[in-house]
Amino acid sequence: MLLLEKFRADIPFFAQQAFGATLNPKQVEFATAFQNNTQITFRGGIGFGKTFSMAVLIYWAIICHNDVQVTIFGPSEDQIRAGIWKEVGNLYGKLPPFLKEEIEYTATRLYRASQPTGAFAETRLANKDNVETARGIHQINNFVFVDEATGVPDQVFAELQNIFTDPNPKLCLISNPSKTSGFFFETFEHPDVSAVWTKVHGRLTDNPGITPERLKAITASFGGVGSNEYRVKVLGEFPLEDEDGVIPRELVVEAIDRDVSPTPGYPVIWGFDPSGTGKDRSVLVKRRDNQMLGDPVVYGTMDPEQLAARIRDEFDRTPKGDRPAEICVDALGVGHGIAGLLRVMGMPVKDVVVSNKARNPDRFYSLRDELWFKAKDWFATGNVSIPNNPVLVTELCLPSYEFVGAKYKVQSKKDIRKLGRKSPDLADALCLTFASDARHTQFGKYAWSKPIEMNRGWSII
């Protein structure tokens, strides 16, 4: 009994004792998320053991709990048989005698011999012809796994909501993130749906056994770092949009980690897109000429004073030669106050009101539209570099555009959110850098007139 209690409390210990397996850190993260939460969604690439982890959890459930039903849904019989149920069978063969004598494994069920109807696991199809199989599942400990969840119709997830009337329900979704639509996608990307889900994200590199040489070979086999297959199977990221947006996908992909040399003397420009709500992110991006300098800096929900202090601190710890000539701040809403605070602190701030008239009003509907197309032109030069940041890459390819009269109009943040996608805050911050008026120090076309004077006496109490 004491051992059983230890198993229930410590899933990695259970895996070690039951199967002689040491869970890697990502598998431990997944197991812990399942143990401690009601709704868990796990997106991941290949090769680090998400199917193995799920099989361990199935055994943990029926060995360590009474009055438990584990139901495993999948979109096809072949997928279930060759995937999760094969892994369950493999682990059955590794059970030590004192556990194996308690468990029965068949082609369709796994159950405790002493409680065949009170502690068992079974598989069910979940496709458009079998939606009704998700109905009427009830038990005190009611654990449901949906494997390859991107291939399962949304109606099945609607039916599975009935399990939450039980005392201890768990709904766990597992899949490669191969589609940018459907319920599984929304558990990560839809602002309202995703809020109630505990999220786990796994990459191929979460497997400690993947060597750099092996990773290089796999990357090449999937078409390189910019391909959708690489994003899905190696990075565990959702694919880029199928249709090109304002900035064509191939231009963004080609710029990932490209080896470039910024022209000597070009100033560094920062773009800061602050958020006044918990829905969007506050993001700082740094750019020098044709090179984005590192990953975007993403801040959580903060007061305007806190955000301003963070930007000041970032400025202070930046080496003098890499400090920005201008910090272009989206000065709409909360950004107006933040820009003012930064100016009082002595920061070289430029207020950018993206809803204002474009500098070229005959071609663009607003300044925001113009900045996005400036970013497109920057990528189109073919000599620019951005970091291999999957979120940034996705966002740069996200917004579409339309014509209002003869003017370009980029899809708004509001309209993007209506589609269940997050606001492209990282990409917007990069676009803000193209609003700068700072000029090159060496050439006539790019020469600013005087140094920036700093007032360092301002502080936040």
pLDDT at 264: 82
- The domain boundary, picked from 158, 187, 206, lies at 206
CATH code of the domain covering residue 337: 3.30.420.240
The count of structural domains within the chain is: 2
Going by C-beta distance under 8 Å and a sequence separation of 6 or more, which residues neighbour residue 119? 62, 63, 65, 66, 67, 68, 111, 112
Q: Are residues 187 and 105 in the same domain?
A: yes
Instruction: Evaluate if residue 433 carries a pLDDT over 60.
Output: yes
In a domain, 415, yes or no: yes
351 part of a folded domain: yes
Residues 108, 255, single domain; the answer is no
- Do 187 and 77 share a structural domain? yes
Same domain, 69 and 185: yes
- One domain for residues 25 and 154: yes
Residue 135 to residue 212: CA distance in whole angstroms: 46
Claim to verify: residue 259 and residue 202 sit in the same structural domain: no
SS3 for 329?
strand
CA distance 182 to 137: 23
Domain identity same for 55 and 108: yes
Q: Is residue 383 in some structural domain?
A: yes
**Helix boundaries (H) for 93-211:** 97-100, 154-160, 183-189
Q: Does residue 450 surpass a pLDDT of 60?
A: no
Average pLDDT, the chain: 89
Residue 271: pLDDT band with limits 50, 70, 90: very high
Spatial distance between the Cα atoms of 108 and 77, rounded to a whole number of angstroms = 11
Are 171 and 252 in a shared domain? Answer: no
Q: Exposed (0-12), middle (13-18) or buried (19+): which is 115, by Cβ within 10 Å?
A: middle
pLDDT score of 74 more than 70: yes
Tell me: pLDDT of 446 over 60. no
Q: Give the confidence band of 278 by pLDDT, cuts at 50, 70, 90.
A: low
Average pLDDT (186-195) is 86
| Contact predicate 172/44, CB 8 Å | no
pLDDT surpassing 90 at residue 224: no
Q: Residue 135: what pLDDT?
A: 87
180 domain-assigned? yes
Average pLDDT estimate for 264-275? 93
Is there a single domain that holds both residue 278 and residue 357?
yes
- Structural domain contains residue 211: no
Instruction: Check residue 459 and give its pLDDT.
Output: 40
> Across 250-293, where does the E strand assignment appear?
268-273, 282-288, 291-292
Say if 96 falls within a structural domain: yes
Q: Strand pairing of 198-202 and 168-175?
A: unpaired
- Residue whose structure tokens are 């990932």: 256
What are the φ and ψ backbone dihedral angles of 3, each rounded to 5 degrees? Answer: -65, -40
Q: CB neighbours (10 Å) of residue 130? A: 14
Mean pLDDT of 47-64: 94
Among 127-136, 138-147, 219-228, the range of highest mean pLDDT: 138-147
Q: Which residues pair with 43 in a beta bridge?
A: 175, 201
- 244 and 188 housed in the same domain: no
Q: Which helix (H) or strand (E) holds 326?
A: strand 324-330
Q: Which whole number is the average pLDDT over 362-384?
A: 95
| CATH number of the structural domain spanning residue 164 | 3.40.50.300
The answer to whether the Cα torsion of 453, 456, 460, 461 is positive or negative is negative
Tell whether 461 is covered by a domain: no
DSSP helix/strand/coil, 173:
strand
Residue 222 lies in a domain: no
Claim to verify: residue 187 and residue 254 sit in the same structural domain: no
Provide the residue range defining the domain that includes 178. Answer: 2-206
Helical (H) or strand (E) element with 15? helix 11-19
pLDDT digits (tens, 9 = 90+) for 26-55: 999 999 999 999 999 999 998 888 999 999
* Size of the chain in residues: 461
What pTM does this model have?
A: 0.65
449: confidence class by pLDDT, cuts 50, 70, 90 = very low
Q: Both 314 and 392 in a single domain?
A: yes
Band the pLDDT of 121: cuts 50, 70, 90. very high
Q: Which residue has the higher pLDDT, 299 or 445?
A: 299
